[in-house]
Amino acid sequence: MPVSVPDHPAYPVGLRLAGRRVLVLGGGTVAQRRLPALLAAGADVRLIAPEVTPSVQAMAEAGELRWEPRGYRAGDLADAWYALIATDDPAVNAAASAEAESARVWCVRSDDAEAATAWTPATGRSEGVTVAVLTGRDPRRSAAVRDAVVEGLRDGTLTAPRHRGRTAGVALVGGGPGDPDLITVRGRRLLAEADVVIADRLGPRDLLDELPPHVEIIDAAKIPYGRAMAQEAINRALIEHAKAGRSVVRLKGGDPYVFGRGMEEVQALAEAGIPVTVVPGISSAISVPAAAGIPVTHRGVAHEFTVVSGHMAPDNPGSLVDWAALAGLRGTLVLLMAVERIGAIADTLIRHGRPAGTPVAVVQEGTMAAQRRVDATLATVADRVAEEEIRPPAVIVVGEVVAVAGGGEDGAGER
């Protein structure tokens, strides 16, 4: 068997394994780590091992690969294009490696890289780009370089503009609750590639300062009780810029489809024949309570949570909320856009049977530097909101989960 020469670097190549036989010997943690990438490449995986990990067994039972529960036998490499040898028996590994060499099958060995004819690079992917790094005998360095490149591609700090296949359109991006670190990696990458950004007030505004000077930023803020860009004007701006051949990001707070009017914008763009990519975001309904130490569900306390818009009072004829039914629930209520009407909402819930002493937490500017939490009960929340001069944006949590971590009106009070 030829001995590899350290002075000669490995020749990097991308193997197209779709429909081609790949032999994997060993069903332990090494195989468990490598199998998903082989399956994603479409390889016809034949796994030989007396025992496998539960995760590998699940892959076999799902029909993703063929598992033969036995040890290695001479001839197992027949018809293979590529082999991964990862048993815990050095003699078996050597014998299988020798067969691979004789059959001219490229072979990776987990126990002896120098005896292998192929090395597995540290690999990562970001939106159609595969990054593979080899640094010889230093796999940790390979992984560190891989991670740095992939992270840069994902968050936009490493720019790699598309030159082929780039089409104008709109990305509807949920920016999360406000903290710039809580936007999804895909959302951040699309933001870095944008020509135009139409941004809400509640989006991660700190990220706008990182955009290149050529990026046009349009303020689509809707300030409660104040200035606002009409939805029709937002729709027109999205359509006009996309039709002009620009890559447009509509940056919204939270998730576009959770009281974000995202579907209205998607429908307007669809009618104009403009392609739309929807990128979900972390909803403030879950993330803001979590940032304030409140789980929306907790074993033995709440088995459900309901997210409700409070932008209309309970007695408003246009309200679609069944407040009487909500009052009868035992779980958590998360109220968005409810600061102005919390008094009427609390009175309605009490009138329909929710106990007046139910704990309530009001979290203002959740996940941001100015975040603060005010605790109350249904009976006292309206007065507490007025006393503390709470202003939007704020998320209001109603239910026993408020007291799980020691909150509630008898607990911490304002934080």
Neighbour-count burial for 87-109, b at 16+ CB within 10 Å, e otherwise: beeeebbbebbebbbeeebebbb
Catalytic residue, chosen from 76, 111, 155, 200, is 200
Active site residue 222: yes
Residue with tokens 């670190």: 181
Q: Rounded distance, CA 112 to CA 81, Å?
A: 20
| DSSP tag of 321 | -
Q: Rounded distance, CA 20 to CA 44, Å?
A: 5
Query: Rg for the chain (alpha carbons), in Å?
Result: 28
How many CA atoms are closer than 13 Å to the CA of 323, on its beta-carbon side? 20
**Does the CA dihedral 69-72-73-74 come out positive or negative?**
positive
The angle subtended at Cα 47 by Cα 44 and Cα 50, nearest 5°, is: 165
Active site residue 252: no
Catalytic residue, chosen from 89, 147, 222, 347, is 222
Question: DSSP secondary structure string, 182-247?
Answer: GS-HHHHHHHHT-SEEEE-TTS-GGGGGGS-TT-EEEE--B-TTS-B--HHHHHHHHHHHHHTT-E
Q: Rounded distance, CA 253 to CA 336, Å?
A: 13
Q: Which residues contact 21 (CB under 8 A, 6 or more apart)?
A: 43, 44, 46, 79, 80, 81
Under a CB-based contact definition with an 8 Å cutoff, are residues 162 and 258 in contact?
Answer: no
Residues with catalytic roles: 200, 222
